[in-house]
Structure 1
């Protein structure tokens, strides 16, 4: 019998590339590259090996320097090694700000083993998007939203069905993302409730002075979703 880890790997490594995108925009599937797939496999087998129903925490789409290199959402190479215990030879570079915030929350909630027992962290659209070589978000242009909407619907349906996610609640990482998440949910009827939190990057970039309070807010919001 396949595990959620197996199904996550299958979902990410087989999700199809779009056929037509607006000019200058491209989609990449880093999970098909052997080094990324190996790290993703090690992470999934370590933290998602059981069939515990998890709450989905879904962001926008992966960036090329975080999940695009490690295969793990909101996790750069340094965090993958230092917090998750998965050694890797990837260049460290500048720490990803979203990663820094997320792992402050993860560690405040007992560390990765405890956190990932209750939560699945992913993206509404699972592939890296670039425009002229730079990170791009699926909602950055109406034309891109229109082009990707069927694929985003498919992505969300597959993640719910294949990963055994809880249906009573899901969390949007980002307020603008939350607008689209709620629209998707109205169309698909997958979750009873969508909770919207500020995006980690926004909090680190514009509200860094309130970092402790921001982390505490996340911990309070997510902690209230954990089933005993």
Structure 2
């Protein structure tokens, strides 16, 4: 079952390459409570062998996947999905957008049956207590390349649709995955979408327009 493969993948995630000074790895899967929540989420939505399209974010952040282990899903959204948790009920901007979109798409059951969320780097990073994207430092991106390639190859071995990948982030995240894709041929094509955090932080008044854009691209 896909759920078993995903959970096994999470359990063994590890970065062995030396990272730049001051950069710490954010690995939520080492936390027993977090891993237990992941088990509940993935056995509910991915306990099958269906193929799905891949959506790639950047890397887990402290208030979303870096806390719950589930991409773009903060503790309040887990509660909404019927997965109780004792985590602080913080709200992540990206999670707010994604679940508003999922609701318009037809709900979590329908969405997760067709799509698989992951990130270019499945582990996150912090520096001085703040979120750090893998591409924020060139040295960090270089150090992570082998880890990123290996992680993507393993996930794609589970039978996902390789005709298309949706990349969240039209700037650095898209450039990075596009270059890797040209070399490794992970997907036939990579389609960039505006990142949820960018939308919620800078384009909040146009949220409905961006939700329509997501719906158009993902249901095309």
TM-score grouping bracket, smaller chain normalisation: over 0.9
Alignment of 1:153-164 (within 5 A): 153-162=149-158, 164=159
In 2, Cα distance between equivalents of 1:138 and 1:37: 23
Alignment of 1:50-89 (within 5 A): 50-82=48-80, 84-89=81-86
In 1, Cα distance between equivalents of 2:147 and 2:17: 11
Q: What is the alpha-carbon root mean square deviation over aligned residues?
A: 1.0
Decide whether the 8 Å contact of 2:15 with 2:147 is kept in 1: no
Give me the TM-score of the superposition, normalised by structure 1. Answer: 0.93
1:92 paired with 2:96, answer no
Q: Which runs of 5+ in 1 are unaligned?
A: none
| Equivalent residue pairs, number | 219
In 2, Cα distance between equivalents of 1:150 and 1:17: 10
Give me the TM-score of the superposition, normalised by structure 2. Answer: 0.97
1:4-45 alpha-carbon deviations (Å, 9 max, x no partner): 100101111101123410111011321121101000010000
In 2, Cα distance between equivalents of 1:71 and 1:16: 14
1:130-157 alpha-carbon deviations (Å, 9 max, x no partner): 1122110000011111111111111111
1:148 paired with 2:144, answer yes
1:135/1:18 Cα in 2 relative to 1: closer, same or farther (>3 Å)? farther
Task: State which of 91, 102, 105 in structure 1 corresponds to 2:98.
Answer: 102
Q: Which runs of 5+ in 2 are unaligned?
A: none
Decide whether the 8 Å contact of 1:17 with 1:29 is kept in 2: no
Q: SS of 2:73's equivalent? A: coil
Q: Which residue of 1 aligns with 2:24?
A: 26
1:111 to partner: Cα distance: 0.4
1:213 paired with 2:209, answer yes
Q: Which residue of 2 aligns with 1:170?
A: 165
Decide whether the 8 Å contact of 1:63 with 1:135 is kept in 2: yes
In 2, Cα distance between equivalents of 1:20 and 1:86: 36
1:126 paired with 2:122, answer yes
1:89 to partner: Cα distance: 1.7
Stretches (4+) displaced over 4 A: none
1:185 paired with 2:181, answer yes
